[in-house]
Amino acid sequence: MSKTNSPPPEHLQAELPFAVVKGEPITVPPEDLYIPPDALEIFLDAFEGPLDLLLYLIKRQNLDIVALPILQITQQYMEYIGLMKELRLELAAEYLVMAAMLAEIKSRMLLPQPAVEEDEKDPRSELIRRLQEYERFKQASEQIDELPRMHRDTFGVSIMQSEYPIERAQPDVDFRELMVAFQEVIQRAQMFASHHIQREGLSVRERMSGILGMLSIEDFVEFQKLFDVQEGRGAAIVTFLALLELLKTRAIELVQSKPFAPIYVKPAVKGPEEAHSNEG
């Protein structure tokens, strides 16, 4: 079912070219050897090259490749390419090479052979080898065509997904990438001395953020609550520095109702423009 443009099956085998059959001489060329010029395109499409054509000629006669009857085949072959040559010479080139090869074999076979040279190869053997080799792959290609194939014999299943919010993957960041970015922005700015960053200490800035974060929730935090004894002296200093830094930048205010009363930390008094600057 899947063979495309195959040569016609061997159903016209009765005719035989220019020969004597059962005593009856045949003088008219067999009809299936004649290809009307209009049909040449089909002819060229039907054969995959000189080897394919030869195989067809052999098969049509029901002959074994191994017993290749070179004279007949050559004759038939020449008629085919004679037709071909008239119309599409460029396409016939490969066929012409084969014709030359057939002619060579034929001439060699017609020459008398000295009996001693037993070892000499049959001039047909190379051609036979090529024909057999080609036939193998021709068969293989037909087998491939028969294999169950997607979109023809079987169809992939691909069903819909149910509607469901698809979580978008977040980009991954390599820590070094972040470092390099920082390094470069600093280099570009040329305004941050390295000691400045070091002395200031990140922990102070982290704590500054932390304090501000707390104030954004509680709005009013007891000063002492910001210090955790468990964290040790170092942390207390960091917290204190952070508070001083925040006071300096006027981000917070410290309030005390009277001497020795608890000190409270609160966000700096909001300016009148607060209403429309609510950025977060």
Partner 1 sequence: MKDSELKRVIEASLMAADSALSMDRLIRLFEQDVDQPTREQIRKAIASLQQECEGRGVELRKVASGWRYQTRPDVQPWVARLWQEKPPRYSRALLETLSLIVYRQPITRGEIEEVRGVSVSSNIIKTLLEREWVRVVGHKEVPGRPALYGSTQQFLDYFNMKSLDEMPSLAELKDLDLMHPELELPRPQTDKKSSLRVVTASGDLAEGQETRH
Give min distance, CB of 259 to partner 1, in A. Answer: 26
Give dist(CA 241, CA 212) in Å, integer: 14
Could you tell me if 95 and 63 are in contact, meaning their C-beta atoms sit under 8 angstroms apart? Answer: no
State which residue, 83 or 127, has the beta carbon closest to partner 1. Answer: 127
In order of 7, 65, 199, 234, 236, the CA distances from 204 in angstroms are 89, 94, 10, 11, 10
Confirm or reject binding of residue 129 to partner 1 (CB under 8 A). yes
Could you tell me if 55 and 134 are in contact, meaning their C-beta atoms sit under 8 angstroms apart? Answer: yes
State which residue, 38 or 174, has the beta carbon closest to partner 1. Answer: 174
Residues that contact partner 1, how many (by CB under 8 A): 126
Contacts of 44 (CB under 8 A, 6+ apart): 84, 88, 91
Confirm or reject binding of residue 100 to partner 1 (CB under 8 A). no
Confirm or reject binding of residue 173 to partner 1 (CB under 8 A). yes
Q: Counting beta carbons within 10 angstroms of the beta carbon of residue 136, is it exposed (0 to 12), middle (13 to 18) or buried (19 or more)?
A: exposed
Give min distance, CB of 150 to partner 1, in A. Answer: 5
Q: Which of 25, 114, 116, 194 touches partner 1 (CB under 8 A)?
A: 194
Binding mask 251-270 for partner 1 (x = CB under 8 A): xx--------------xxxx
Q: Which of 27, 28, 38, 155 touches partner 1 (CB under 8 A)?
A: 155
Q: What is the dihedral of CA 109, 111, 116, 117, to 10 degrees?
A: -50
Confirm or reject binding of residue 180 to partner 1 (CB under 8 A). yes
Confirm or reject binding of residue 67 to partner 1 (CB under 8 A). yes
Site for partner 1 in 208-247 (CB under 8 A): 208-210, 212-213, 215-216
Q: What is the dihedral of CA 223, 224, 225, 227, to 10 degrees?
A: 110
State which residue, 20 or 261, has the beta carbon closest to partner 1. Answer: 20
